[in-house]
Amino acid sequence: MSYRLPPLNALRAFEAAARHLSFKNAAVELSVTPTAISHQIKQLEEFLGVPLFHRLTRALALTPQAQAMLPKVLDGLACFAAAVESAHDEHLQGKLIVVVPPSFATRWLVPRLKRFTQSVPTLNLQVIRSPSTIDADQVPVATGLEQVDLRQDDAMVAIRFGIGVYPGFQVDRMFGSDYIPVCSPRLLEAGPPLCTPEDLRLHVRLHDDAIQSAHTVPSWDEWFRLAGVSAVEAMSGPHFSDAGMVYVAALDGLGVALASKPLVATAIAQGRLVAPFDLAVAQRYAYYLVIPEAIANRSAVRAFRTWLLEEARAQERCCAGAG
């Protein structure tokens, strides 16, 4: 069956202009000039043989013909979009790229991924570690995702460590990240004792310079203030350029680390680390799943989101129980 249809661009211009009642705003939405919108509307009116807009002095108004046509145009464009997305989804349903903070990837996500990949064995999953998924105080909230352009690939999502305000994206909070002291059980066995916060004066303290310099996590100085311990050289001890090295140093018994409670929960449960004190420094950052709205309904994205949020809820229950 053949259809006598106007150009698709003219229909898109009409729909946008009718929704905004403005050629200028329609032009901004479609990334063209107002003159181009006006030209496309004129083409459509000539094709139909009827006027679609009353051009008023400072506004537009729909003609009766346009009012009757608009709902069906909306339905038609929605059907076009659904058909294209369906074909696109078939092409990309087996692909998913997840960009994550480095320590989160190593200590939380990767150890759990087997449960996800077993449930979707055909998925082509790619995990990318990137420190740019960590919000920095100097980066404005509205532009906090500029360093990770999730729109550069049709199947890319991110897990961000930040405050959770990312306009234009679907955002799900996973869990917060209180910080507690942790160390190897061998360090406790070797002594000196670590029974009170004051005893930390006698132990080596480990520092993550990279993330603390961005003011995104608490420092030892903050923890000591919370514990009521004064006159301590809080910054003494080895300093490292990322949290991964701090974690390995703590496992190896080099000293005591101030670590994210959810990211060390598994190591504590397995007995590889111990938390001598449950006194935690809370901070405003949390972990968020961030998804471009355009791909939020894609099958691979939906599957990953469902699994990830279930794992996050289990993590929250675990940390609450441990507390």
pLDDT band at 311 (very low <50, low <70, confident <90, very high): very high
Task: Among 52, 72, 91, give the residue marking a domain's end.
Answer: 91
What does the pLDDT look like over 165-215, one tens digit per residue?
888 789 999 998 889 999 999 998 887 888 999 998 889 999 888 665 555
Q: Are residues 87 and 99 in the same domain?
A: no
Tell me the mean pLDDT in the region 6-20. Answer: 88
Tell me the mean pLDDT in the region 207-233. Answer: 77
The yes-or-no verdict on residue 98 having pLDDT over 90 is: yes
Q: Are residues 263 and 193 in the same domain?
A: yes
Instruction: Give the three-class secondary structure for 161.
Output: strand
Report if residue 1 sits inside a domain: no
Contact status, residue 210 vs residue 283, Cβ threshold 8 Å: no
CATH code of the domain containing 78: 1.10.10.10
- Report the pLDDT value the prediction gives residue 146, as an integer from 0 to 100: 43
Q: Are residues 78 and 124 in the same domain?
A: no
As a whole-number percent, the residues of the chain with pLDDT over 90 amount to 30
CATH code of the domain containing 239: 3.40.190.10
Q: Are residues 290 and 159 in the same domain?
A: yes
Task: Among 59, 91, 123, give the residue marking a domain's end.
Answer: 91
Report if residue 255 sits inside a domain: yes
Between CA 207 and CA 245 the distance in angstroms is 10
Q: Are residues 173 and 197 in the same domain?
A: no
Q: Are residues 313 and 293 in the same domain?
A: yes
State the pTM of this model.
0.64
What does the pLDDT look like over 112-165, one tens digit per residue?
999 998 888 888 899 998 888 888 654 433 334 445 556 555 788 999 998 888
Between CA 15 and CA 66 the distance in angstroms is 10
Report if residue 278 sits inside a domain: no
From edge to edge, which strands make up the β-sheet containing 95-100?
A: 124-129, 95-100, 156-162, 286-292, 169-176
Contact status, residue 88 vs residue 46, Cβ threshold 8 Å: no
The 8-class DSSP code of residue 216 comes to -
Report if residue 276 sits inside a domain: no
Structural domains in the chain (count): 3
**Can you give the residue range of the structural domain that contains 186?**
179-269
Q: Are residues 153 and 26 in the same domain?
A: no
Q: Are residues 199 and 172 in the same domain?
A: no
Q: Are residues 80 and 110 in the same domain?
A: no
Dihedral of alpha carbons 46, 48, 51, 55, sign:
negative
What's the mean pLDDT when you consider all of the chain? Answer: 83
- Report the pLDDT value the prediction gives residue 143, as an integer from 0 to 100: 37
Contact status, residue 287 vs residue 164, Cβ threshold 8 Å: no
The DSSP secondary structure of 92-121, one letter per residue, reads HTTEEEEEE-HHHIIIIIHHHHHHHHHHST
- Report the pLDDT value the prediction gives residue 140, as an integer from 0 to 100: 35
